[in-house]
Structure 1
């Protein structure tokens, strides 16, 4: 594409994509191949030495995946991106070049349950650790940072409660202390929130969710802002120091703003092998083409349904940040100016048992461990996605035992309200 500035709706269709030079195919083809023929021995050597950009082997790079990487990076305002097999893979990919045994990451208490487990249990196997802090308490966040901290991690719109992180404040703090801020933007998508504009260094996604939007494939992505000086502090030797596997090449010195992106492909995907397959990339590319249209409907439906639930006597409270009663309502205009998303929880009078009855009585809502589908989804987080956590951790994450999580789809809002109405009647009878 030219240097002209295009709007989001145009970029979500065209960014990264060009007619196939071999066939003229207008839709991005699925390049279902493991390897690519080199022009000659010199060409192969240049690719393996990172002296030339191109395709070597589909564990590293693939033309279909490359289009998806460029499209997501463009929508997020980054310089590059690395796609991988899932959102959890993206989180490990983001941390991998930054961390080392004995180092820690400071993370928000308001995270998806699987991420909490990853941060409390899984990363210990690498010798890393995580410190959990309420990100509304900036003094506590600052106090948690030490000489071994290598990153700050949060979600823009947190799963499950729809809590909106004050990215302006956290981004400013990260800049002051010279640490990269990693923001999971899965629930908001780049249509609702642009974390890089608020100080994020890296943005991660589970592309499985709203970006694909149809519940068909899993995937993940790490977007590189290109704004961080990896050589300034000496804390990130993987990016600033000579890399033995590439004859002493220094990623930051050689690739500048794209240092993290090149490292993610040349070392992260090479050695961790968390590869996104081209067919999954193709499904996600098709999903992104309608992202803005879907998100507008997701938000409109969520706003209407949350307002209805808040007035219902069978409901104790609703956590949707788009409601004026929400303590995070003032952040919507600054952090998510196009709406607060479609993810939130509500507490059913009658507690745990009523939640179970509600879920079993619903007809349109699907009871699944997913979010971001065109279909409306429901789950009881405390007994499923956050089941592995202690009750105090569940409550800190917004997954209280008496609440259910909704991911509002793009159906007719009145039909969804009617379904909730009849199910609430049965659950609280």
Structure 2
């Protein structure tokens, strides 16, 4: 089935007399015929619904759709992309463990990994996104449990060599977790390139309209957890009736464990209405992503032509450092986000952004409307100069997210803003 058709039909098939769109089940609770029926569901939550802190019918339909779009076995939505990132690591790491991550990732993720998880006794070993196989292998420790990277990094726009990272991860017996937020399954399906777990901030392109904050984790169902490194998967979980996840749920043990342990305890599940809105966004993903990519290439070429940028980063631009990797992993396009470092540094960047009229200065990205952000002042403000440099960010860097407006209007806005700082 083509992805355009999947976007509309996966996850929810109405029966005779039922609504065509995914219904909003605005309920916290579900009724059972007997106490024994309730007990049976607590023994095995995959049999039915317990409570909307675990699962909701509206969200369940969206989870099934996203799992199908990514080619995975199962998915679990969360209340934010940050919650999805946190759960993706906590599901297999505990105090005393470590994991390897690309240094070229979202600033909030860097802080989560370097500060918050460190307080929990989990070490993140940061490596260069372009590290060789030998350098990646050298980063591993006996207690390393995973690798993590972004398909297209926010905001550096580096492209991860997924096959290389998957090869190293599997050589060390650990899964590769990929944040596929900017690419979406329409542009890239990391599981097909060897990744084991995929996650998204659904607040971005999957939603597309800036109306809900959410996240999702997708389990490929293919990673072999029985290599001795993951007793949390292969030994009885005493907190849940002694269940062994790989035995009870061999189709997707990772995501079932995440739901039964982390979602049960953390409760970071999205509301039904948020999932309904997310589904509406997903249904138009294919047509939106084509337009984003088309607009971004033209905008990137214009910015480059002005001579007012020290550098322009867009993987879909010929001559970009990551153009060849983008051609491999992102043949349909490289999303609608452009990063460029303006001549004159931080001061010039601020004047340029304040001169824009069509583009909104906001802490968001991947919207239907063009928006702009100064990462060093906002999303990456808590990072040290060294961390900023490792993430490919300087004071003049601007993240420009093209929307679905007419490209001539977007370019006219860029032109007048450049003129404002050149006057």
Within-5 A mapping of 1:26-425:
26-50=20-44, 53-138=47-132, 139-232=134-227, 234-425=228-419
CA RMSD of aligned residues (A): 1.2
Q: Structure 1, residues 234-253: CA drift from partner, whole Å, max 9, x if none?
A: 22122111011222110011
Instruction: Give the C-alpha shift of residue 149 in structure 1.
Output: 0.5
Gaps of 5+ in 1: 1-5
CA contact (8 A) 2:129 2:158 kept: no
Runs of 4+ in 1 over 3 A off after TM superposition: none
SS in 1 for 2:310: strand
CA contact (8 A) 1:362 1:420 kept: yes
TM-score normalised by L of structure 2: 0.98
Q: Give me the whole-angstrom Cα distance separating, in 1, the residues matched to 2:316 and 2:335.
A: 8
Instruction: Give the C-alpha shift of residue 125 in structure 1.
Output: 2.5
Q: Give me the whole-angstrom Cα distance separating, in 2, the residues matched to 1:344 and 1:133.
A: 23
Q: Give me the whole-angstrom Cα distance separating, in 1, the residues matched to 2:393 and 2:296.
A: 19
TM-score normalised by L of structure 1: 0.96
Q: Give me the whole-angstrom Cα distance separating, in 1, the residues matched to 2:304 and 2:389.
A: 20
SS in 2 for 1:90: helix
Within-5 A mapping of 1:12-27:
12-19=7-14, 24-27=18-21
CA contact (8 A) 1:162 1:341 kept: no
After TM superposition, the structure 1 stretch with the greater mean CA deviation from structure 2, 48-57 or 218-227, is 48-57
Instruction: Give the C-alpha shift of residue 394 in structure 1.
Output: 1.1
Q: Structure 1, residues 344-367: CA drift from partner, whole Å, max 9, x if none?
A: 211111111110001110011011
CA contact (8 A) 1:97 1:236 kept: no
CA contact (8 A) 1:350 1:428 kept: no
Q: Give me the whole-angstrom Cα distance separating, in 2, the residues matched to 1:378 and 1:395.
A: 20
Aligned positions, number: 422
